[in-house]
Structure 1
Amino acid sequence: MNDGSSWGDAFLDLQSAFAVASTSDEVWVAQGVYVPGATVTNSFFLPFEAKVYGGFPGTPGQENMFEVRNPLAFTTVLSGDIQHDDVNTDGNFIAENPSEIQGENSFHVVNADGVYDSTVLDGFVITAGQANGTGGNGNGGGLVSVEGSPILENLAFVGNMAANAGG
């Protein structure tokens, strides 16, 4: 079914889960590497007033067990490496610095434009954003938030870059 009702029926892509999340929903994300799409303009658009938590093992039978969450042990990566061609010598799929970005990457890995402070993003590594476009696409490689005020907790922004402001 891939409707998000269990770890075994998890959505096939994260943005689909975000698209159906509504106010006060929680989105639990299993360890792994997620990219927002196939083009530089694709981003993970945070669901309005939802709480998004990474760091779950994704083990079937633990769908109702928030206490198994551990972002340090179960690394959950949001990556802008849409072409899967960035340098990855250590095999963790995290760009340790912007020089490891190759080819085209997402302008903004996460987009939190206009979300309120009731929107939460917690427990992720955000990497390989390449805001090298013009105008607003030159700002916020890892995260862009125009008139937004999400709660950001337990996040690591690693190896993102921006031509203008905010890496």
Structure 2
Amino acid sequence: MTLNPLFRETMRAAALGKSDEANRLYDQIPEPEISHYNMFIVAFFAVCLEVRFKDDQSFTAIKQFATEMQYDYRNAEPPVKQLVIEGIIRAMMGEEDLIQEISPADQHRTQLLAIRKIVAQSPEMQIDLAPFLADAEGLAAQWAQAE
């Protein structure tokens, strides 16, 4: 399965904090492909987590990231919830049952905010997002075939 090229461009804009461009591109994604785009978001989130937590996947590292994220987005409305951040990350790292307690809307919003934070703090991702987007595309394609 080949993913729509708009997925990469939309995610690139969102990851780099270009909200207006990301929204404009998102509006061009055909409605029947939105679920595949959402899967791509989760795949890119997984790639970002791999970058951020490659050296330390401990509960302490996850909690620290969640605390930082809550501070970074302290003026967000609605507020970013520390337990949601921790739950989503831990679910992606194997504690799948935690995701059951988090609404799809909170998952989506928190993943996008975390992606933005991780990309902003990763020199390697700032230099060239292309290989990371390609990894996410491959992962999303694998998940789509497994459905």
Q: Which has the higher helix share?
A: 2
Greater relative contact order structure (CA < 8 Å, 6+ sep): 2
Q: Which has the higher strand share?
A: 1
TM-score with structure 2 setting the length? 0.28
